[in-house]
Amino acid sequence: MTRAHLVLADGTHFEGIAIGAEGETVGEVVFTTGMTGYQEVLTDPSYCGQIVTMTAPQMGNTGVNDEDPEAEAPAVAGFVVHELARRASNWRMTETLEAYLARHGIVAIAGIDTRALTRHIRDHGAQMAAIGTGELEALKEKARTAPPMTGRDLTGEVTAKAPYEWTEGTGRWGEEPAKEKRFRVVAYDLGIKRNILRCLVDAGCEVTVVPSSTSAEDILAREPDGVFLSNGPGDPAAVGHAIETVKGLVGKKPLFGICLGHQLLSLALGASTYKLKFGHRGLNQPVKDLATGRIEITTQNHGFAVDPKSLPDAAELTHVHLNDNTCMGIAAPSLDAFSVQYHPEAAAGPHDSRYLFERFTDAMEKRG
Amino acid sequence: MPRRDDIRKILLIGSGPIVIGQACEFDYSGTQGAKALREEGYEVILVNSNPATIMTDPQFAERTYVEPLIPEVVERILEREQPDALLPTLGGQTALNLALELHRRGVLERLGVELIGAKVEAIRKAEERELFKSAMEKIGLESARAHTVRTMEEAWAAVEDIGYPVILRPSLTMGGSGGGVANDRDEFDRAIRWAFNQSPVHECLVEESLLGWKEYELEVIRDKADNFAVICTIENFDPMGVHTGDSVTVAPAMTLTDREYQRMRDAGRKIITEIGVDTGGSNIQFAVDPETGRLIVIEMNPRVSRSSALASKATGYPIAKVAAKLAVGYTLDELRNDITGTSSAFEPTIDYVVTKWPRFAFEKFRGSDPRLTTQMKSVGEAMAIGKTFKESVQKAARSLEVGRDGLVSLLEKIDYRELRDQVRRLAKDPSAGLHLMPLTEPLEVSRAELQEAILEVVKTPLSDRLWYICDGLRVGLSIEQLQEATGVDSWFLDQLEQIVSEEEVIRGAETLEAAQLDRWKRMGFSDARIAQLRGAEVEEVRRARSEEKVEPIYARVDTCAAEFAALTPYLYSTWGERSESEPTGRKKVMILGGGPNRIGQGIEFDYCCVHAAFAMKELGYESIMVNCTPETVSTDYDTSDRLYFEPLTFEDVMAIVREENPDGVIVQFGGQTPLKLAVPLAKAGVPILGTSADAIDRAEDRERFDAILEKLGLSRPQGGIAKGMSDAIEVAERIGYPVVVRPSYVLGGRAMEIVYTREELEQYMAKALEAVEDADTQTILVDEFLKDAAEVDVDAISDGKRVVIGGVMQHIEEAGVHSGDSSMVLPAHALPPEVQGAIRSSTRALALELGVVGLMNVQFAVKGSRVYVIEVNPRASRTVPFIGKATGLPLANIAAKVMAGKTLEELGVTREVVPRHVAVKESVFPFHKFPGVDTILGPEMRSTGEVMGVGADFPEAFLKALWSASYDLPREGRVFLSVRDDDKQAACELGYRLRDMGFELLATRGTKEALARNGVEAEVVNKVLEGSPHIVDRLQAGDVVMVINTTEGAKAIQDSRSLRRETLMSGIPYFTTIGAATAAVAAVERMREPELEVCSLQEYHARTR
């Protein structure tokens, strides 16, 4: 067992045991409160650049498998757990979590008081941090001098290298999929999760994924029925080129955005975004659909939010977070565009919000 | 949408007496529900027959009816109160069944009472097996293959189709009552008859066995706007085949990936929607095939359940309170989470692991089958919270309070080969039971032999299986072998293996260093266990920890894994960097609870602890509760100012004392559990409130107590203390048989017996020492048995100067029946005034002499005009809540204030309150869960709960008490009488009265002759020993409507056993003491008179004042 440290930019440090890959890592330390789905968390591209703390204390119980990753490889900068399972047990398991972390080069730490860390983040905000087995002072310096998340565009690290077609649905894990593929959708990839693509397929879409460098013209040239704006990491305000692309799409085709996609749509419509103190990350976040009054228990993973007061007249607030009333969704009906801050594809997480994919196909249908 | 304004008055139904499968959790949910509804301004009318509950305290409802939970009586209450709505979902299966029956009879419709919380259709769909199954099919979910059967023919056809083994699930029973597993024709024949008998609709599901599959539960909630949330996931350590109430369970689910869990969640949502529960909570059980992940729906309870209480305590989310508010029209988003101030429409997430471990009482039920099946058998449960499963399971093990400091080894205590043989024997004869003699010297046995024995033993689910599994790991069985044998998931087994292998490290460590101590504590090892492993003194470990500064921290149960600040101090200990206890500087009093419920220490003590907390708040103290059972009101986060969910061991309590530094600690209210800590805590300098530890010792120590009696000129039955066999025989022969024998320092009369001969005494001594943990130091008390004496219980409060009698209660059964099992009447119904006077003055003298400050209970025996003191307990007793309900005097509350320094005069409590009405407490027994057990009452307590009947006179009160205890008293038919010689006189009188009412009599020869001599006609019937056709044949033929059968002496008792068994099987009311029989005949007479009145406690109390 090798001792390791997690050091925060404000100098707070925790001592634990090094697990996963050897080495050091720097990233923004955040926590997520989901009790299941660590494999999905690890592979969610939106966590790029972040050191993710799991508040659930025992991780790795079910190992890892081939079906559950949300991307080809893990995207997190680092991983913090209270305890890692020595033995995993599950009928689908192919590998232990520890082996998986090591194989994918993820630097991680176990054996720390994750609740104390979580409370610290809650009280003092998400901040840069470093994990390593080396000198404490050197680590501290790295955490202190690392560039903060605000102002960072990380989409380039997680977007597709080239366009590709996606055909897989949720299969045995989902509802009965739509029989025929009636809509052509271009998914604008800023770090898209596979389950979003699967849900689009289930909803009857033929999906082409394009890199974030793709221009609006190139997207429209594919003659899609609608364009999907994906989730992704980093500060939305910093992703200038993507905002431009979205501006070029607004009003031309039905648009549906999730998470970063939602923020980019809002920015493109003229609204502004801001950084939350410690964000919303977990599988139990209550959202109210203002049109129906229904509550959805949602998966969330975001550190920035749209300021609802800054929304232009063309857009309206459609969903709010029940805990802090933050903006959880907008729509610009005249422009056939809508978006949500949370993750209706929910992998991991509850399936309460899958109806939004249908809302998207309805919009395409109407327009069609 | 806010609350409904079209309803104003709501009737809430409780769950009745504590029985296996339906316990304190419904007091917790009912109390929360009543509070929530009143908070909203509704008028709450409450009915529950159980006086030991907090919910029936008069301040929780406008009017509280302690009346029988039967349709006729509740109908009278509905007529009298004319409520707008009835909420049946917080009172367990009892309330739900009652509501259905009232609906079926058209009562609700006639009186315009709306059922809220769950609609009739929803209840039926969830509860009736066939409807449920087809509902599941409709929404595309799989349930186990099964057939609903109503006749033996259908049953045989079903089992033919499904193949053995099969599971039997009778309709509309609770706690799996009447259910079981059948592996072959013989077992099936026996099991299906019992199942039909137990189902109120004579219906049973014969189901494909999913033995060995993983078992999960979801606690879900849904509102009328179709908002849905999963409050908690629970994973059973024990796989399918063991009732979830008897399984060790863990929250949250530990071995599901998110995909698998979400599939279960989706199923949960579909189920609650399809069943139609649209304003409340439900519990849904699933089975998962460990090989393929195939998901099967087992069942659903459309109401708050035992698991919802567990889920509420495990997460901090108050399910019952929220369910009550949803029932009156709120939606989830309109409610706030008390703990964080955020929305109630969310799913709690937790950053710790909760383990629930059931507690059993097989030792009290000789002849019961100790194997765990689909019918629940446990009587209570402990819950523990730890950061990991390892910490949590070890804390749970010591919370159970079975004399084990965690996951200790039993290898030196039992011979596993012997256990294996006994388990084999059980397969042939389920009533053979387990009788393991503790080993006196180390065994000569090879490791291979042990491995083989343990591997066979763990295949059968037994209450101690988790310990056996650990021993299996200790002797080198592999995780794979144990998984194969038990079906327990290998992740759990590996966690246990980590604990077991660490034991070697603890044993071998040369010194006690911080890093190691910290590691062991994180794995849940108690100081006592570490000391035991090292052959050291506990104090050494404690000292090392203190020097190395390895101390626990306290974290909050906050529903949100620290995402938000928690406003409520609901705490558990763990090991980490930052404590969140934030003790206040207020004046504070700590109350130690009773731990897991068990026979002899149940809800009555929790009631007292809750009152102590209320009393401290009223006096302006901060109240701090320490307890470890999820079922009760005491562990509700808003009962006290601060709640520590912790084991009640010296180490765990002292750690809290250090954290909080309380001004006083109350140990006298939670029963024997906290009382045992009185002396060690006092020695450690902890300020114990009220009666001193020394006074407690003076009352419990035989010699010191005798000195007091002598000084006060009081008499007690002759007796002596014996150490060992020859000593006991000597004492017994000096006094003369029969004698009462029992180990000293036990509660609930455990292992107490009346022996009539030397031979019986020898048998007893051999057996009694088997049941005690520290057999070598155990002393046995041998006392004169006062045959036919009347027994009396007195509860009193003293402030050291003044003594106020709370109540003088006369037992209905004669001496020889444990006071916790006998029925009692208040005021005493048949004691001459001078005897009552002597009892009161003796009580006062004893309280003042002992220096009691707080509560005291005295038991007296009265023979003729002589009064004997049987025992004195300067602490809360089981009868305190009963007196509170009967007289309106909240003894526990007053006593707690006295302990905090108030005088009785200051509190305005100076006179005994003698009610003008009559209250009867009747006990309720779990014999239905243990078909092989003899039902005769004796000095060992076996009841799980109690009911109260209140009436204008004794017969009326007793009749109501019997109804509440589910006696189906006859109006006509044939009564069987067979009594011992001493009772013949009284039996003739009863015979005469029964004949007078038109009953026919059936009697055994001796009794028949006695009756004939007194001119009472009766038909003779053979005893069983006299050959067919005998009485049991007649019972089976349905010829008999009531049984009065008194016996004495081991042989006569043995001979009449099959008779009692048959009455139990056929549900015929039976009375085994002449006292109870006399009262019952009076009750039958009363039943023939005009209809009974119902009346609320508030009205009774007002009349008394």
- Domains assigned to chain A: 3-145 (3.50.30.20), 155-367 (3.40.50.880)
Residue spans in chain B of domains classed CATH 3.40.50.20: 9-124, 553-679
Q: How many beta carbons lie within 10 A of that of residue A56, not counting itself?
A: 25
Confidence at residue B770, expressed as pLDDT on a 0 to 100 scale: 60
Handedness of CA A201, A203, A206, A211 (dihedral sign): negative
Cβ contact (<8 Å) for A322 and B226?
A: no
Q: State the Cα angle at B386 between B382 and B391, rounded to 5°.
A: 90
Residue spans in chain B of domains classed CATH 3.30.1490.20: 145-209, 718-776
A-chain residues near B235 (CB < 8 A): none
Confidence at residue B1092, expressed as pLDDT on a 0 to 100 scale: 86
Confidence at residue B344, expressed as pLDDT on a 0 to 100 scale: 94
CATH architecture of B145-209: 2-Layer Sandwich (3.30)
Under CATH, which number does the domain B125-143+211-348 receive? 3.30.470.20
The rounded distance, in Å, linking the Cα atoms of B437 and B429 is 19
Under CATH, which number does the domain B718-776 receive? 3.30.1490.20
According to DSSP H, which parts of B369-464 are helical? Answer: 389-399, 416-428, 447-457
Q: Among B487, B468, B449, which Cα is nearest to B404's?
A: B468
> What is the distance in angstroms between the Cα of A343 and the nearest Cα belonging to chain B?
14
Separation in Å, CA B600 to CA B15, B379, B429, B945, B962: 20, 11, 29, 9, 21
CATH domain B362-548 topology:
Carbamoyl Phosphate Synthetase; Chain A, domain 4 (1.10.1030)
Active-site residue among A5, A120, A319, A343? Answer: A343
The rounded distance, in Å, linking the Cα atoms of A288 and A325 is 9
Q: How many beta carbons lie within 10 A of that of residue B730, not counting itself?
A: 12
Confidence at residue B1021, expressed as pLDDT on a 0 to 100 scale: 95
Q: What's the Rg (C-alpha) of chain B? A: 28
Strands A25-32 and A50-54: parallel
Residues of chain B short of pLDDT 50, as ranges, are none
Cβ contact (<8 Å) for A295 and B494?
A: no
- Model-level pTM? 0.95
Residues found in chain A: 368
Distance of CA B1062 to the CA centre of its chain: 25
The label of the residue with tokens 């509440």 reads: B964
Helix crossing, B514-522 with B490-508: angle to 10°? 150
> pLDDT-derived band of residue A98, with 50, 70 and 90 as boundaries?
very high
Question: Which DSSP string do the residues of A269-282 spell out, in sequence order?
Answer: TT--EEEEEEEEEE
Q: Are B924 and B19 in contact (CB under 8 A)?
A: yes
The verdict on whether A82 is a catalytic residue reads: no
Q: Is B480 on the interface with A (CB under 8 A)?
A: no
Confidence at residue A362, expressed as pLDDT on a 0 to 100 scale: 96
SS3 content of chain B, % helix, strand, coil (to 5): 40, 20, 40
Q: Is B140 on the interface with A (CB under 8 A)?
A: no
Q: Which residues of B262-289 are buried (b: 16+ CB within 10 A; e: fewer)?
A: bbbbbbbbbbbebbbbbbbbbbbbbbbe
Q: Dihedrals φ, ψ of B47, to 5°?
A: -130, 130
CATH architecture of B970-1068: 3-Layer(aba) Sandwich (3.40)
Residue spans in chain B of domains classed CATH 1.10.1030.10: 362-548
Active-site residue among A259, A296, A321, A351? Answer: A259
According to DSSP H, which parts of B923-1056 are helical? Answer: 954-964, 984-996, 1005-1013, 1031-1036, 1050-1055
Strands A107-110 and A164-166: unpaired
Confidence at residue B884, expressed as pLDDT on a 0 to 100 scale: 97
Helix (H, G, I), strand (E, B) or coil at B701: coil
Q: Are B793 and B859 in contact (CB under 8 A)?
A: yes
Q: Which residues of A175-198 are buried (b: 16+ CB within 10 A; e: fewer)?
A: eeebeeeebebbbbbbbbbbbbbb
Distance of CA B423 to the CA centre of its chain: 26
Under CATH, which number does the domain B553-679 receive? 3.40.50.20
B-chain residues near A44 (CB < 8 A): none
Q: Is B505 on the interface with A (CB under 8 A)?
A: no
Confidence at residue B750, expressed as pLDDT on a 0 to 100 scale: 63
The verdict on whether A327 is a catalytic residue reads: no
% of chain A residues with pLDDT over 70 = 100
Cβ contact (<8 Å) for B255 and A322?
A: no
Under CATH, which number does the domain B9-124 receive? 3.40.50.20
Residues 232-291 of B with CB under 8 A from A: 233, 252-259, 261-263, 265-266, 289-291
Strands B114-115 and A327-332: unpaired
The rounded distance, in Å, linking the Cα atoms of B356 and B246 is 10
The verdict on whether A345 is a catalytic residue reads: yes
Cβ contact (<8 Å) for B332 and A57?
A: no
Confidence at residue B749, expressed as pLDDT on a 0 to 100 scale: 56
Residue of A nearest to B347 (CA): A284
Q: Dihedrals φ, ψ of B440, to 5°?
A: -100, -20
CB within 8 Å of B701: residues ≥ 6 apart: none
A-chain residues near B225 (CB < 8 A): 293-295
Confidence at residue B929, expressed as pLDDT on a 0 to 100 scale: 86
The rounded distance, in Å, linking the Cα atoms of B81 and B72 is 14
Q: What's the Rg (C-alpha) of chain A? A: 20
State both tokens at B760: 């019986």
Q: State in Å, rounded, how far the first CA of chain B is from the last one.
A: 44
The rounded distance, in Å, linking the Cα atoms of B1092 and B956 is 8
Q: Among B912, B917, B934, which Cα is nearest to B925's?
A: B934
Q: What are the pLDDT digits (tens) for B182-207? A: 989 988 998 898 888 888 888 998 98
Q: State in Å, rounded, how far the first CA of chain A is from the last one.
A: 61
Q: Are A314 and A340 in contact (CB under 8 A)?
A: no
The rounded distance, in Å, linking the Cα atoms of A100 and A88 is 12
Cβ contact (<8 Å) for B491 and A85?
A: yes
- Report the half-sphere exposure of B921 (CA within 13 A, side-chain side): 30
